[in-house]
Structure 1
Amino acid sequence: MNIEPSSRRALVTVIRPRNASRYAPLTSWLLTLPLLATFAVGFLYPVSKLVALSFASGSESYLRLWGEPLYLSVLTTTAMTAAAVTVFCLVLGYPVAFAMTRFKGKAAIITAACVFVPLWTSVLIRSYAWIVLLQRNGIINDSLQGAGLTEQPLKLLYTQGAVILGMTHILLPFAILPIYATLRTLPPDFARAAANLGADRARTFMLITLPLSLPGVFAGGILCFVLALGFYITPALIGGPGSMLMATLIGQQTTVLLDWPFAAALSTILLTFTLIIVFLFRRALSLSKGFQSVH
């Protein structure tokens, strides 16, 4: 059956679905306009107002921030706490995500429930649960004294360790899910090919599975780190007055001292630090892909 070239082009145009690259520029902009408007109203405008408020009295708020060792210490403590929580989430979350890709049937359902159910529970409730566990007359101290391991109740609550423990528990699903999503996309043929070439399971994991899952690890790490930088409820409840993080300090400046320009300066510094960390994570991810392509 012979078809004229013009008819063939018309038939291909009818059959071939239209993709985004074929839309006119004006149509593309109109389609993205609601998203851009939401982003401008919900993010750019408040952030611009926040930055403008931080300069309400010139650079006095920023000079005060860099001039007082206490505020720099709080920023350092916040970054170190967020880094520790991120490391613990990745170390604990990777085996769980790896197991979720291997389990089937009831084991897979139970594991998925253990990951998703905490996400459906309020952060406030989970923080109070840790108070019940860690307080002087709590379950952990009672168990230790009942077993004869300690004579006096240990100070577990209102410590930096308790803050890291509670934040790790809350943010753990945010590390598991991206890693699980990446591991699910890895073809099983890679592992079988490595086994046929004589590699054992440990070598296959270190040379194939782990490098290919780095995008999920970086995604989970940046999620946990950014969320940990702005945590407020858990440090305030579990850490107490002795555990001062940036979010707690900003809340104190706005609700107790009513120093809005200085609170805005603190928020701007925290936002800038977060953007820098996101940029570095993206650079590290691009470098890891480059290393994989070389090998």
Structure 2
Amino acid sequence: MTVTTLTDAAKPQTVALPARTGSGKRYSHALSLTLIAPLVVLMGFGFLYPVGKLLLGSVLNPAPGLDTYRRLLNSTLYLTVLLRTFEVAAIVTLASLILGYPVGYAMAKLPRKWALVTTACVLVPLWTSVLVRSYAWIVLLQRKGVVNELLLDLGWITHPLQLIYTEGAVIMAMTHVLLPYTILPIFAAIRGIPGELSQAARNLGANGPSVVWRIILPLSLPGVFAGSLMTFILALGFYVTPALVGGPRTMLMATLIGQQTTETLDWAFAGALSAVLLASTLAFVVIFRKTLSFNRGFAGVS
């Protein structure tokens, strides 16, 4: 009988690995404060100071008190504008989600060549000025614009339709401008889902729609939440597109605040409007976040 033995050279060797250290270099507190000081100064003088001064002016000018807030609450006009702003923002967010989820899914799942084409279609408008895109909608929707001329040539209408300066035009234009902010978080969430999960589901007999509904959609909910929340917040404070495409008939809170500061020069009332919009936005975000955090798909962002 032959006995095989391991020589010392063949025996597995134990190699001592160096102790793991932090991947980032440690800096002193003084150097860290020095590095972030320009950003703090920029945020302080470029954002916190003007916003704080505007909000303080709403309770200090022309005299200390809450007269500007009473004026706001006693007028149905301003409350109607506030409700319309939330309504338009909610519709734009829903429309962006419905249109953006398939695009984000396609960007994550299509072959590389077509995924690059889809990504370019999403990013190129994002790099274009909001002002340019808003004027493009005016060219399309005005009485002698592309849409009315096309409908007249086809014989579907006998006179130009009122497409511009309507709430529908504002919703379409805002959806077009804000759509990338919904698509990109959804794309990142879907791309981070391991492909083995979908493959395992198909091996167990699940078809394509079932895989999307039971696996892809629940695991991509954090991206849906992030994109929807970002789109909603941006829509609440949107100014350029509603002012150009909507006109005075579809005034939103941002347009009303701009009117108070540039036309009537009532800075105190503009500050009160800003404070109400800011408080309403923060309250909605907190409620929305807490409500959706009960879902297991949002456990990672609660």
Deviations 1:176-198 (A, max 9, x none): 10100111100011111111222
**Distance in 1 between the 2:34 and 2:216 partners?**
39
* Secondary structure at 2:177 match in 1: helix
Equivalent position of 2:49 in the other structure: 45
Please report how far the alpha carbon of residue 60 of structure 1 lies from its aligned counterpart in structure 2 after TM superposition: 0.5
Cα gap change, 1:27 to 1:213, in 2 (>3 Å): farther
Match of 2:127 among 107, 113, 120: 120
State the match for 2:221 in structure 1.
Answer: 214
Question: Quick one: distance in 2 between partners of 1:167 and 1:71?
Answer: 22
Match of 1:98 in 2: 105
Looking at structure 1, the residues matched to 160 and 236 of structure 2 have their Cα atoms a distance apart, in angstroms, of 31
- TM-score between both structures, scaled by the size of structure 2: 0.86
Equivalent position to 1:271, from 272, 275, 278 = 278
| Aligned residue in 2 for 1:30 | 33
Q: Per-residue displacement from partner, 1:61-93 (whole Å, max 9, x unpaired)?
A: 100000000000000000000000000001000
Instruction: Name the structure 1 match of 2:245.
Output: 238
Tell whether the 8 Å contact from 1:211 to 1:292 is kept in structure 2 after alignment: no
Aligned partner letter, 2:288: F
Identify which of 275, 287, 293 aligns with 2:294: 287
* Residues 121 and 291 (structure 1), Cα distance of their counterparts in 2 relative to 1, 3 Å cut: closer
Greater fraction of residues in helix: 1
Q: Distance in 2 between matches of 1:137 and 1:67?
A: 41
CA RMSD of aligned residues (A): 2.4
Secondary structure of the equivalent of 2:295?
helix
Contact 2:292 2:298 in 1 (8 A): no
2:164/2:245 contact within 8 Å kept: yes
How far off is 1:19 after superposition?
5.4
Q: Which amino acid aligns with 2:125?
A: P
Change (3 A) 1:290 1:234: closer
Letter of the structure 1 residue corresponding to residue 51 of structure 2: V
Q: Distance in 1 between the 2:28 and 2:97 partners? A: 42
SS of residue in 2 equivalent to 1:205: helix
State the TM-score, normalizing by the size of structure 1: 0.88
Q: Aligned residue for 1:150?
A: 157
Counterpart of 2:293 in 1: which secondary structure?
Answer: helix
- Equivalent residues of 2:221, 2:298 under 8 A apart: no
Distance 1:264 1:291, change over 3 A: closer
Shift of 1:23: 5.9
Q: Which one has a bigger Cα radius of gyration?
A: 2
- 1:262 counterpart residue number: 269
- SS of the residue 1:217 aligns to: helix
What is the match of residue 54 of structure 1? 58
Preserved contact between residue 139 and residue 146 of structure 2 (Cα < 8 Å): yes
Unaligned runs of 5+ in 2: 1-15
CA distance in 1, matches of 2:101, 2:78: 34
Indicate the percent of aligned positions where both proteins have the same amino acid.
53
> Aligned runs of 1:193-204 on 2, under 5 Å?
193-204=200-211
Distance 1:186 1:31, change over 3 A: farther
Q: 1:106 to 1:29 in 2, by over 3 A?
A: closer
Distance 1:24 1:129 in 2: 50
| Structure 1 Cα separation of the partners of residues 49 and 138 of structure 2 | 38
Distance in 1, matches of 2:184 and 2:27, equals 37
Determine if contact 1:100/1:180 at 8 Å carries over to the other structure.
Answer: yes
Does residue 71 of structure 1 match 2:78? Answer: yes
Amino acid in the other structure paired with 2:259: Q
| 2:177 alignment partner in structure 1 | 170
Question: 2:92 touches 2:171 (CA, 8 Å); kept in 1?
Answer: yes
